[in-house]
Structure 1
Amino acid sequence: MLFFVHKKEIRNLDQFMRIFDLVWKEMRLYFCSLNYYKMTNYSKLGFATLAMCFFVACSNDKRTEKQEKIIPVKIMNVETLHATSLQNYVGTVEESVAVSLSFSGMGTVEQVLVSEGQHVRKGQLLATLNTATAENSYQSMLAKQQQAQDAYDRLVKVHENGSLPDIKLVEVETGLQQAKSMTAVAKKSLDDCKMYAPRDGVIAVRSVEVGSSAMPGMAAFKLVSIDKVNVKISVPENEIGSVQTGQTASVTVSALNNAIFIGKIETKGIAANAMSHAYEAKIGINNPQSKLMPGMVCKVFLAADTATAEMVVPNRAIQISPDGKRFVWLADGDVAKRQFVKTGGLNDNGIVVVEGLSAGDKLIVDGFQKVSENVRIRINGLEE
C-alpha cells in the first residue's frame, strides 16, 4: 500500500507528525504481513528521511513566498542650481486713497444722488441738505450788508464836505466789513448744504438716507480711488531684511480665476506688530480696469533680485513625518533611506532644500509612497 503526501498539504509541524504517525502504522501492518520485521528500523528511518525532505522543501517554499518585495522607483540626481528664490505671502487688496465725506453743518438730508459702488467724477453732486434755514440766514445777512453799504455811501459824502469826523467814518467802514463777513459766512453755510465729490473715485460706503439727520464730522460717504491699489502683506521679522522697496512682486488673485498682476513694493514698515512680530509692506499695482477691488485676498510672491545657488527638489518629494519634520527618500544602493531635511522658499523649479542633502544624492521622486526604511528598491528611470 503506497501513500502520497503533497507538500502543500503539510501546513505545520503538528500536522506533519499526525500524517507521519498514520503512515507509519500502515507501513507496519504492511511489513508484518510480509514478515519483514528486520527491515522495520531501516524502513522507518528511510521514510522519516523522505518525509523530512518534503517538510524542508515546504519550509523553503514558504520562505520564498515571504521574501520582501522589491519596489520599483524613479530617481533624480540632486544638483545645485542657480535659481531665483520666491517668498510667498498672503495679501489683501486695499484702495490707494480713501476719503471720508461729511457735511460741514447740521441739517436734514433732502437728496442722496449716488449709491454704493458707483463711480463718480470730481465736482459731481452727491447729496443735499434742506436749505430753508441756511437760506433765511443768508438773506438776513445780505440785507444787513446792503444797509451798511448804503450808510457808508452817504457818510462818505458828508465826510468829504468836512461835516463828519474821521472817527465816525471809520466806525461805518468797520460795520460794513462786519456785515460783509457775516454774509460770507451765511453764504458758506448755504453752499455747504450741497456735498460734491472732491476727486474721482468710487463710493465704497453710503451712510446717509433721505430724511436722516446730518452732523458735522459724521461720515456720509466713503470715497475710494482704485485706479491704483495696494496689496498689504505681513512679513516675518526673519524675512523683512530681504524685502526692499522697488522689489518686483507677482500677485495671484483666486477670485479672478487666478489672474496674475505685477507690482512693486512701495512702502516697507519699520514698526513690528506687537503680537505677531511681523512688519507691514505694501505693493502698488495699477488697476485701470478696476478688476482688483478692496478686500480681495491674494497670494504674493516676491522674487529675489539675484539668482542664488540652491538645491531644489520637486514639491511632491517632500514628506512630513508624524512629528512635523520634513524628509525625503533617497536611494542608497538597492535600498531606500529616509533623510530629514530643512526647506526654504519656493522657486520656479520646486522647493529649496537648505539642509540635509548633498549634490549627487539619488532622490526618489516616484514610487516613494510605497517605500519604507531599508526596503529593497529597483531603479526604473532617471528624471532630468
Structure 2
Amino acid sequence: MSKTIKTILILVAVTLVGYLLYSKIFKNDAQDPAISGGGPMAQKVAVDVYVVSPSAFQNKISTTGTVLPNEEVELRSEVAGKVTNIQFTEGSRVRKGQLLLTVNAQEMQAQLQKLQSNQKLYRDMEQRQRTLLEKDYISRQEYDQVSNQLATATADIQALKASLAKAYIRAPFDGVIGLRQVSEGSYVSANTPIAQIVDISPVKVEFSIPGRYSQMVKKGDKITFTSEGSPTEYEATIYATQPIIDPATRTMQVRAIYDNKNEEVKPGAFVKVNLGLKEVEEAILIPTESIIPEATGHKVFLAKGGKAVPQMIKIGQRSETMIQVLEGLAPGDTIIQSGVLQARPGADLTIRKVKNGK
C-alpha cells in the first residue's frame, strides 16, 4: 500500500470519528432544556396563588362632580338710569330684602306725586257726584264718568309704583355678595351686570352615575366627597335625581346637599365622590393583579394539578386592591396572583406562597 493511500485512509478515519463525537454532543445539548432554551413550557413557573372564598363587599360608585351654590343670581337693573346710591360692601353678607343699590328715580317720583294729586282731586269729585246722584241732581252717566277717572288714576299710580320699586335693587335671598361691577354715577340698563349674590351655606354637589345604577340610588342616600387639594372627607345627602337617563352618555345626574356651615367648600370646586350601594354578603373578590385584560373580556389563570389553566371571568366593581368577580369563579378555586405574566396554558407551576381570601 502506497504512502498516499495510507494518508487518505487516516484522514477519512479522523473525519468519521470527529463527526460521531459532534453528533453525540449536539444531540445531548438539544435534549437539555437548560442549554436548548426550551421556554416556559419546558420549565416550571414559580407563582404565588390566591384561594377564592366569599366575603362581604359593599358595591361602591366612584365618580367626580362639581360643587354648586345653593342659590346664585347676577344682579341687574330692570330700569335704565344713573346709579345714585350703593349700599353694600363687596364680599359682605346680605339679608333677603336688604336695599343694595338705587337707580335715579326722581322723574318717576315726580310723576307719582302728580298722579296722587289727580287721584285726590278725582276722589273728591267722585264723593260730590255720589251725593248729587243720591239726590237725583245728576244722571248716572255723569257720575260714572268721574268714577272712571278716579279708577284710571288709581291704576296709573299702582303701575308707576311697581316701576318705581324696580329702581331700588334689593337682595333676593340671604347670601354673600361678590365684586361690584358699577360705581355711583354709572349709567345702567337691563344688560349691565351689577354684582353676583350666592348662597354657599349649604352647597350642592352635582355628579353623574352610570344608568344601570339608577334604580339603586334614592333620595336620602349618603355620599362622601373630597375637594381638590384637600384630604378632608365630607358627607352629603342626596336630595334629588334627574328623572331621565342621558341617552348620549347613558348616565343619570344626581345632586346631594352639604350644610357647609363653615363655608370651607367653595362653589365651582372639583370633587371626588364615593357612593355606597347595596352590600353583598357573599361576594367573590380577587386581587386586581391576577386579572389579564383581553379583547373579549378578562381572564385569570387557575392552578389545577400543578398546571396553569386559563379561565374567562366577568368582573364587577373594584376597590383599590380587589375586584369583584360576577361569573367564572367559585369558592375554593385557586388562582395565580403573582407570576401571572409568565404563565402559559398548561405550564407546570411551582407554588411559592398560598394566600387565603378569608
Tell me the TM-score range normalised by the shorter chain.
Answer: 0.7 to 0.9
Change (3 A) 1:79 1:117: farther
CA distance in 1, matches of 2:54, 2:99: 64
How many Å apart are 1:44 and its aligned residue? 8.6
Match runs of 1:236-247 below 5 Å: 236-247=210-221
Secondary structure (helix, strand or coil) at the match of 2:173 reads: coil
Match for residue 167 of structure 2? 193
Post-superposition Cα deviations, 1:69-101, rounded to whole Å, max 9, x if no partner, equal 544322211111122211333333333334465
CA contact (8 A) 2:68 2:203 kept: yes
1:303 alignment counterpart: 276
Q: Distance in 1 between matches of 2:48 and 2:107?
A: 86
Do the aligned partners of 2:59 and 2:278 also contact (CA within 8 Å) in 1? Answer: no
- Give the secondary structure class of the aligned counterpart of 1:337: strand
Correspondence list, 1:253-268, <5 A: 253=227, 255-268=228-241
Distance 1:201 1:337, change over 3 A: farther
Give the alignment of 1:286-325 within 5 angstroms.
286-321=259-294, 323=295, 325=297
2:333 corresponds to 1:361: yes
How far apart, in 2, do the equivalents of 1:285 and 1:48 lie? 88
Matched, 1:276 2:276: no
**CA apart distance, 1:195:** 0.6
SS in structure 1 of the partner of residue 112 of structure 2:
helix
CA RMSD after TM alignment: 4.4
1:14 is matched with none
Q: Distance in 1 between matches of 2:272 and 2:209?
A: 13
How many equivalent pairs are there?
346
| Shift in alpha-carbon separation, 1:265–1:334, aligned structure 2, 3 A | same
1:139 is the counterpart of 2:141: no
| Residue aligned with 1:383, SS | strand
Please give the alpha-carbon distance, in whole angstroms, between the structure 1 residues aligned to 2:98 and 2:254: 34
Q: Kindly indicate whether the alpha-carbon contact (under 8 Å) linking 2:291 and 2:300 is maintained by their aligned counterparts in 1.
A: yes
In 2, the alpha carbon distance for the partners of 1:307 and 1:171 equals: 82
Tell me which amino acid in the other structure corresponds to 1:248: K
Counterpart amino acid of 1:318? I
Larger strand proportion, structure 1 or 2? 2
Superposition deviation, residue 343 in structure 1: 0.9
How many Å separate the matches in 2 of 1:190 and 1:212? 17
1:28-177 alignment to 2 at 5 Å? 28=10, 53-60=24-31, 63-64=34-35, 66-68=37-39, 69-99=43-73, 101-110=75-84, 119-145=93-119, 147-148=121-122, 155=128
Q: Is the 8 A contact 1:312 1:349 kept in 2?
A: no
Percent identity for Structure 1 against Structure 2: 23
Q: Whole-Å Cα distance in 2 between the matches of residues 107 and 54 of structure 1?
A: 107
C-alpha distance 270-191 of structure 1, shift in aligned 2 (>3 A): closer
Counterpart Cα distance in 1 of 2:33 and 2:253: 66
Q: Match for residue 342 of structure 1?
A: 314
Which protein has the larger Cα radius of gyration, Structure 1 or Structure 2? 1
1:184, 1:325 → 2: CA distance? 73
**1:234-288 CA distances to partner (integer Å, 9 max, x unpaired)?**
34443212222222222333x1424322223222333333433433332222222
Is the alpha carbon distance of 1:312 and 1:192 closer, same or farther for their aligned partners in structure 2, counting shifts above 3 Å?
A: same
**Is the contact between residue 85 and residue 308 of structure 1 (CA under 8 Å) also seen in structure 2?**
no
Q: Which residue of 1 aligns with 2:189?
A: 214
**In the aligned structure 2, how far is the partner of 1:61 from the partner of 1:363?**
31
Query: 1: distance between equivalents of 2:327 and 2:179?
Result: 51
Q: CA 1:62–1:198 in 2, change beyond 3 Å: closer, same or farther?
A: closer
Report the AA paired with residue 86 of structure 1. K
Match 2:302 to one of 315, 330, 337: 330
SS at match of 1:198: coil
Q: TM-score scaled by structure 2? A: 0.75
For 1:120 and 1:26, the matched residues in 2 are separated by 119
Whether the 8 Å CA contact 1:248–1:262 is kept in 2: the answer is yes
Describe the shift of the 1:119–1:340 C-alpha distance in structure 2 as closer, same or farther (beyond 3 A).
Answer: farther
1:234 to 201, 204, 208: 208
TM-score by length of 1: 0.70
> In structure 2, what is the equivalent of residue 5 of structure 1?
none
Match of 2:353 in 1: 381
Q: 1:107-133: CA deviations, max 9, x gaps?
A: 344566668876433233333322232
Return 112-121 or 99-108, whichever deviates more: 112-121
Higher deviation after alignment, 116-125 or 289-298: 116-125
Q: What is the letter of the counterpart of residue 66 of structure 1?
A: G
- Supply the distance in 2 between the matched residues of 1:119 and 1:343 (Cα, whole angstroms): 51
Pick closer, same or farther for the CA change 1:367–1:52 going to 2, 3 Å.
closer
Rounded Cα–Cα distance in structure 2 between residues aligned with 1:280 and 1:318: 32
Is 2:225–2:272's contact at 8 Å kept on the other side of the alignment? Answer: yes
Query: CA offset at residue 214 of structure 1?
Result: 1.9
Which stretches in structure 2 are left out of the alignment for 5+ residues?
1-5
Contact 2:56 2:279 in 1 (8 A): no
